[in-house]
Amino acid sequence: MNQTVNYNLIDSSAWLEYFAETINSKPFIKPIENIKNIILPTIIIFEVFKKISTERGENEARIYITSMSNAHVIELDKELSLSASMISIEYKLGMADSIIYATALKYNATLWTQDADFKGLKNVKYFEKK
């Protein structure tokens, strides 16, 4: 990956708003449509696939996941797991949020989210749900 690129990490909440085309998706449209600059932790694939499969069916979920997979998919490895563990302890975040935030920090990416657990953290663009 190119270290001079300013990467974005789009949280599950933002992807779901974007795919549902809600009013809450507006702040996320531009960064999502610049897919080549997105890093995508596999935990977000899990969360988005599960939610869309439950609400709209597996076939539709696979279509959305395919479009997301044009981003730089980031696998969870030992180093990222340990970093996420320390972040979980420091910021009192759950496992998925810790992995997401650790990934954003590792790649110096801007985290775009509606999840209040990330509000006020470094490199986070938080948008309150309307």
Render each residue's pLDDT in the chain as its tens digit; 130 residues: 766 679 999 999 999 999 999 999 999 999 999 999 999 999 999 999 999 999 999 999 999 999 999 999 999 999 999 999 999 999 999 999 999 999 999 999 999 999 999 999 999 999 999 8
Containing H/E element for 89? helix 78-91
The topology (CATH level 3) of 8-116 is Rossmann fold (3.40.50)
What one-character-per-residue DSSP string does 93-112 give?
A: --HHHHHHHHHHHHTTPEEE
Q: Quote the CA–CA distance of 93 and 66 in Å, as a whole number.
A: 28
